[in-house]
Amino acid sequence: MKACFPIIKSAGITSKIFEHFGAAPHFLLLDTVTGRFEIVANVDRAHAHGTCDPAGALQGLDVDVVVVVGIGDRALHSLLGAGYPVYEAGAPLVQGNLAPLREGALREFCTDKVCTEHGHRHSSDHHCVTQGTAAQL
């Protein structure tokens, strides 16, 4: 499985996951089977609030899932609509999410946790867009 993590700078799998998907400078693309990764620029980073095209930013990158700390409502629905499952990071660093991702223990990202601005406001309610975990992929 190839997972996409938004990051601010590369430190390999010890990279910190950036807090807002659409504004992340880079994506770390990680093959969860081989452990190989690559860093790519977020080509959609410079956008007005609410106008990002995350599915377009990932086009051609062969991504299976996206793991985020924060994401806006439109971006979440754009990714889901393009067929990218979106999961909530359970740890601040990429490496802390690898075993839970492989084991299907990461939760899907829920609409009540979306960012309302590039500053964050998340609730603790879980009203999910779809039901499931990464184990079902």
The answer to pTM > 0.75 is yes
Q: What is the DSSP letter of 88?
A: E
CATH no., domain 2-136? 3.30.420.130
Query: Per-residue confidence of the chain (137 residues) as pLDDT tens digits?
Result: 999 999 999 999 999 999 989 889 999 999 999 999 999 999 876 555 555 678 888 989 999 999 999 988 888 988 999 999 999 999 999 999 999 999 999 999 977 666 554 444 443 344 444 444 454 44
**In the chain, what are the domain boundaries?**
2-136
Neighbouring C-alpha atoms within 13 Å toward the C-beta of 108? 21
From edge to edge, which strands make up the β-sheet containing 86-88?
Answer: 37-41, 26-31, 2-7, 65-68, 86-88
Region class of 23: left (phi > 0), else alpha (psi between -120 and 50), else beta: alpha
Cα(134)–Cα(130) distance, rounded to whole angstroms? 12
